[in-house]
Amino acid sequence: MPTLYIGHGAPPLVDDPLWVAQLAAWAKALPRPSAVLIVSAHWENAPLTIGATRSGTPLIYDFGGFPERYYRAQYRSPGAPELAADIRRLLSDQPVAEEPDRGLDHGAYVPLTVMYPGADVPVLQVSMPSLDPEQLFQIGRRLRPLRDQGVLVIGSGFLTHGLPFLRDFRLDAPPPAWSMEFDAWAHEALEQGDVDELSDFAHRAPAVRYAHPRTEHLAPLFVTLGAGDSTGQPLPSIIDGYWMGLSKRSIQIP
């Protein structure tokens, strides 16, 4: 299986016909996974923590100020206890915690409702124990063997996420300069397969303090870069463009 980095957006992104069509077509073109392992920008916890493994664990509505219908969304995917056991084995030399009552947050279930709307693929979410790119890359490398078992590893964030610096909150708002500058830099680095450039974004990327005042929405990228075969070859963007001025660039890693 390849690995993916997806711009998941806020819950209203499921009402964007273009994004839904693009993401659904992408999922259809992929081999059907045996399970999905997802890392979301919305779960930071150290040590690495395994979420719910039982089927039908309630979702986490970790957002506020949206219409009521977004709080009624359901995604009762099968649990993945075997995948959880594999992760514990692959990371056996480091602490791994469990939070069995933690269901999927919106960074996980929003894209999955589009990719696998039948909720018929087992899903497991794990936390990010750090925002350090190298640490996350190494975790991804340790989890790389899961791909041979048909597991689809997804990092879910947003390529730019400077919410404090947005001045126009319309869904079709033109992107601010800092969002376009960071996106162009990332696109070039991805096209060159330059993992070192991407990992050192804090020092090399333009407008980084505006694009990522906190880096949790970029951090899942490094798990997927580590889990994929990402060194020195082009990493294609399957989805690009902007939503509410933020870059929704999403990539596939061989």
Q: What is the mean pLDDT of residues 159-177?
A: 91
Q: Categorize the per-residue pLDDT at 68 as very low, low, confident or very high, splitting at 50, 70 and 90.
A: very high
Tokens 């995948």 sit on residue: 83
Model-level pTM? 0.96
The answer on pLDDT for 232 being more than 90 is no
The answer on pLDDT for 57 being more than 90 is yes
The answer on pLDDT for 240 being more than 90 is yes
Find out whether 243 and 13 touch, Cβ atoms under 8 Å. yes
Please give the biggest Cα pair distance in the chain. Answer: 47
Task: Give the per-residue pLDDT at 230.
Answer: 73
Task: Give the per-residue pLDDT at 173.
Answer: 86
Task: State the fold for domain 3-253.
Answer: Protocatechuate 4,5-dioxygenase; Chain B (3.40.830)
Read off φ and ψ for residue 178, nearest 5 degrees.
-65, -35
Between β-strands 151-157 and 123-128, what pairing exists: parallel, antiparallel or unpaired? Answer: unpaired
Q: How many of the other CB atoms lie within 10 Å of CB of 8?
A: 31
Task: Give the per-residue pLDDT at 123.
Answer: 98
Alpha helix ranges (H) inside 131-250:
133-143, 177-191, 195-199, 201-204, 208-211, 220-227
Taking only the tens place, the pLDDT of each residue in 86-109 is: 999 999 999 999 999 999 999 999
Total residue count of the chain as it appears in this document: 254
Domain residue extents for the chain: 3-253
The answer on pLDDT for 171 being more than 90 is no
Q: What angle do CA 154, 46, 135 make, to 5 degrees?
A: 60
How close are the terminal C-alpha atoms of the chain, in Å?
Answer: 8
Cα Rg of the chain, angstroms: 17
In angstroms, the CA 84 to CA 95 distance is 14
In angstroms, the CA 4 to CA 2 distance is 7
